[in-house]
Amino acid sequence: MAVVTVLLGWLVPLLYAVLGLLLVFLLWAYEHFLEYDEDGSAHVFYNDYCSYKYCFRSEKYGPVYRLNILHSVVLGITCPEATKEILMSSKFPKDKNFHKRIFYMFGERFLGNGLVTAVDHELWYKHRRIMDPAFSSLYLRGLMGTFNETAEKLMDRLTEEVDNQTEVSMLKMVNCVTMDVIGKAAFGVELDLLYKSSPFPKAIETCLLGLVMSARDLLYEYKPRNRGFIKEVREACRLLRSTGAQWISERKTAMQNGEDVPKDILTQIIKSAGQEETMTKEDEEIMLDNFVTFFIAGQETTANQLAFCIMELGRHPDILEKLKQEVDDVIGMKRDISYDDLGNLVYLSQVLKETLRLYATAPGTNREVPVDMEINGLHIPGGFTAMFSSYVSSRMERFFKDPLKFDPDRFHPDAPKPYYCYYPFALGPRACLGQNFAQMEAKVVMAKFLQRFDFTLVPGQSFDIKDTGTLRPKSGVLCTLKHRHTK
């Protein structure tokens, strides 16, 4: 009897261990979305985490639907009233579980408590107030010289490609120019990526792809076949943060020596950490969090917007010709574009907004909702995460007629304004601080490009979307260029 008792004592834990291993194996071998319940809920194991699936669910199940992600409840919301109530308020923090996934990436600190990711409202508010001067209207006006100078380098680089009669990946080109702009305007560093090789573009792409992989697969980090890529992600995180540490150190030295330094993003990042003598290790880490945040967000989304814009213009010659005419009327043949010129490029603004409607490069955001709410007539108990996606709502017939059609006239000054269904830069107090910076830069680059060049899309390329943490054109937008001779 004693032997049986001992055996049972060992057998039960062993059985639990076997069942646990079996569950791990099943998750590993059968990573996919499970079937929908009859009530419209879906059980998700993070794989195939694509925006088009959310479009499908929103169209099928309505403006609020439930996802069960393991033990967590997530509500996908496209209801404009609920979107307004939640995103426009500071009462609802960003989701802590998602924050954990981007705080560290496979054990290496990534975005941490940066301005975009911080969950603690007081910490976020403190940093936001300090960063505001670097995005004031007055300071942004002063960046027109940087925007023009860097865009002019892109025009020179594209001229070389025309002379060589080669196909051009416009995504690659605009990635280089937007990274050059953020390097110069935000950190006072000349990168010159249009002519020099650099590890930064690859490092950013690797980090963002690592973010996607870890979100899609809960067990990604523990699978032996992924070790090589995980090592690359960790090295990329270290590269970005070590670069930030170097640039911050150099700027601190300049400030201590009494040198005249710009009131740019880097200076504001240093100010956010407080006095040197009271600075903690965590303060130093948060400086690097903000450096990585602005380095990535300041170029990645603008580059993707520009690439998608060129792709759509190449597919719609009538819109392209109308836009060229506006550029001719407003800019003519002058080299430098003024701040006032940007306000007169009305149709270009419409084209860029329509690009972001179809291709919201940062596809979504989330909030924790601890209190009970009524959404679209449904009583929802508190304790859930609300998920919002401008990509999804902007592609719904409910909000936009013929939503997959590229139509800049949706954003004509006299057209009705979209009501809380179009928010590519998010909404409310956590809206993107750099959205005016990004759109000024995009206007300068696009206006100069259309002023100087005609282009055609290379036949046979894909127009699909690639999700690498941000959305980008899968093909790279391959074009052939020729010099444009304006009458």
**Could you give the CA distance from residue 245 to residue 91 in angstroms, rounded to a whole number?**
33
Q: Hey, what amino acid is at 82?
A: A
Strand, helix or coil for residue 455:
strand
Please enumerate, as own/partner, the contacts of 329-334 that have beta carbons within 8 Å and a separation of 24 or more. 330/447, 331/447, 331/451, 332/486, 333/451, 333/486
Q: Hey, what amino acid is at 183?
A: G
Is residue 432 marked as binding?
Answer: yes
Six-digit token string for 72: 């967590």
What letter would DSSP give residue 89? Answer: -
Burial tier of 90 (Cβ tally within 10 Å: 0-12, 13-18, 19+): exposed
How many degrees, rounded to 5, is the angle at CA 113 between CA 237 and CA 199? 20
**Could you give the CA distance from residue 345 to residue 309 in angstroms, rounded to a whole number?**
15
CB atoms within 10 A of CB 416: 7
What letter would DSSP give residue 473? Answer: E
Residue 473 contacts residue 171 (beta carbons within 8 Å): yes
- What stretches of 339-471 show up as alpha helix (H) in DSSP? 339-344, 346-358, 390-393, 435-452
Chain-centroid distance of CA 13 in Å reads: 45
Residue 358 contacts residue 404 (beta carbons within 8 Å): yes
Annotation: binding site for heme: 432
Positions at the binding site:
432
